[in-house]
Amino acid sequence: MQNRIEELKRSFVTSLGAAGSAESLEALRVEYLGKKGYVAELMKGLKDASDKKAAGQLINEFKTEVEDSIAKATEELRAAQIAAKIRGAKKYNPTLRAEAEFGSYHPITLATREVEEIFVSMGFTIENYFEIVDDYKCFEALNIPKHHPARDMQDTYYLDNGQLLKTHTSAAQNAIMKKYGAPLRAIFPGRCFRNESTDACHENTFFQMEGMMIDENISISNLIYFMKTMLSEVFKRDVKVRLRPGFFPFVEPGFELDINCEICGGEGCPSCKNSGWLELCPCGMIHPNVLREGGIDTEKYTGFAFGLGLTRLAMMKYGVKDIRDFNSGNLKALSQFKSI
């Protein structure tokens, strides 16, 4: 028995020295300690030993030696693998540029900034205004009394306290007139909300940019000049537009300024509801009632206002066929724009 154990010890030491992986150590464990392994074989032979107690002790010592050696080798192997991983890992270098992916500007942001720049260069200031307003600001101050049929065109979302999500940037006109008085040149971009069904050119949440110019002797020709300049600067090419009469209670006279659909070239498509034209920037001479409500002396001053559909402008400028893409969060579409 003793000779056999000595022989197994030698062969175990040799095999252990050659085992360089977790798999070969496991195979060695099974070979020696498994159900049909050498230790089991020794235990079977115990019954034939002359001094069973001494033989049993030797077998146990051998078994413990094998178990400990395999556990130690396994641990050493694991430590060596971790050390190799650390050696091979990329070292942290604080002087390297971060490998972060940069985002891109939303096309509405790009269009807003571009239009802002154009108007700032023409002496306009940029104003900010709330998204939640009251009925007075959104309608009454704009010559749209309660129950006026013009309200039907602009249903919105109401809060329990009677306030509402603004349907148009015109909701800021009164506050801005009261803040600055006349003369005045201001633009105010903002998010607008309407409770209406969506399609390729209508969203329930979209952006407009309002503009107002109030001074002595302001006339329709000033309005047309500013609209033309803005469009030629934004598109940097000739775009076909048309001006037709339009009704808004807060302007007199009022106009609809439509753009020839840049998606289909005027042939008609879902982006323009098959008309070949897209309503882009209604405008007109500010109604005297609105000026008065804003504290402006109507004997001295006149003014024009416009409500540019910024989201639609971005559609036409960037060739986005469906307005719903802007709010979709679809990075595949949105990340095509200028990166930060």
- Write out the residues near ligand FA5 by the rule CB under 6 A: 168, 170, 194, 196, 202-203, 206, 208, 210, 248, 251, 254, 279-280, 282-284, 305-307, 309, 311-312, 323
Question: Judged by CB, which is closer to ligand FA5: 28, or 138?
Answer: 138
User: Cβ 310 to ligand FA5, closest distance in Å?
Assistant: 8
User: Cβ 278 to ligand FA5, closest distance in Å?
Assistant: 7
List phi, psi (to 5°) of 209.
-130, 120
Question: Judged by CB, which is closer to ligand FA5: 74, or 229?
Answer: 229
- CB-closest chain residue to ligand FA5: 309
Question: Judged by CB, which is closer to ligand FA5: 42, or 187?
Answer: 187
Asked if 309 and 317 count as a contact pair (C-beta separation under 8 A), the reply is no
CB atoms within 10 A of CB 18: 8
Asked if 305 and 286 count as a contact pair (C-beta separation under 8 A), the reply is yes
User: Cβ 181 to ligand FA5, closest distance in Å?
Assistant: 19
User: Cβ 338 to ligand FA5, closest distance in Å?
Assistant: 23
DSSP for 212-254 reads EEEETT--HHHHHHHHHHHHHHHHSS---EEEEE---TTEEEE
Question: Judged by CB, which is closer to ligand FA5: 5, or 313?
Answer: 313
User: Cβ 103 to ligand FA5, closest distance in Å?
Assistant: 24
Question: Judged by CB, which is closer to ligand FA5: 1, or 320?
Answer: 320
Asked if 188 and 209 count as a contact pair (C-beta separation under 8 A), the reply is yes
- Nearest residue to 255 via CA among 263, 247, 265: 247
Question: Judged by CB, which is closer to ligand FA5: 65, or 140?
Answer: 140
Asked if 263 and 269 count as a contact pair (C-beta separation under 8 A), the reply is yes
User: Sign of the C-alpha dihedral, residues 64, 67, 73, 76?
Assistant: negative
Pairing of strands 241-245, 302-309: unpaired
User: Cβ 204 to ligand FA5, closest distance in Å?
Assistant: 7
What distance in Å separates the CA atoms of residue 74 and residue 221, rounded to the nearest whole number?
89
